[in-house]
Amino acid sequence: MQDNQLQEWVERVSLQYFGIPFRHQATFNGRLKSTGGRYFTKSHNIEISPHQLTNYGEEETEKIIKHELCHYHLHILKRGYQHRDADFKLLLAKVGGTRFCKSLPDGIKRKQEPYRFKLVCRSCGTEYLRKRKTDPRRYACGKCRGILLLYRLDFNSQT
């Protein structure tokens, strides 16, 4: 499905369920993996994850579109558009949107970054794995308050 087809779909859902036209831009964003869609308060645009459509079909994607349109219409009307607001919860239930999107299969989610560094306590030998390099002088062992040494795991040499 193309962005122009999504635009027409969002406009159709807006008129059908809300009775108000959607006058901004709706696009797909393939980088959205942990969320089904986004509403931008400054531009009033909506982004939808194409992965939700591919994996769960049009019915689930339409629920996500309804969710984002709830944000959109309530924000334009200057009413409670955030997840915690009663206006949002009522409108979402009324139109049949989903509060949370389904989780994507593991192969599509962001790859887990491997641990590349290890902090080792000189006193008690406790190890702390880290994905990013940290300055061991700024920290102490959580068990014995000992001095930490930093090791790079891919070379297994001291840094």
Active centre residues (catalytic): 68
Residue type, 77: L
Torsional class of 57: left (φ above 0), alpha (ψ -120 to 50), beta (otherwise) = left
* 37, 65 contact by CB (below 8 A): yes
Give the CA radius of gyration of the chain.
Answer: 23
Closest among 43, 33, 102 to 67, alpha carbons compared: 102
Largest CA distance in the chain: 68
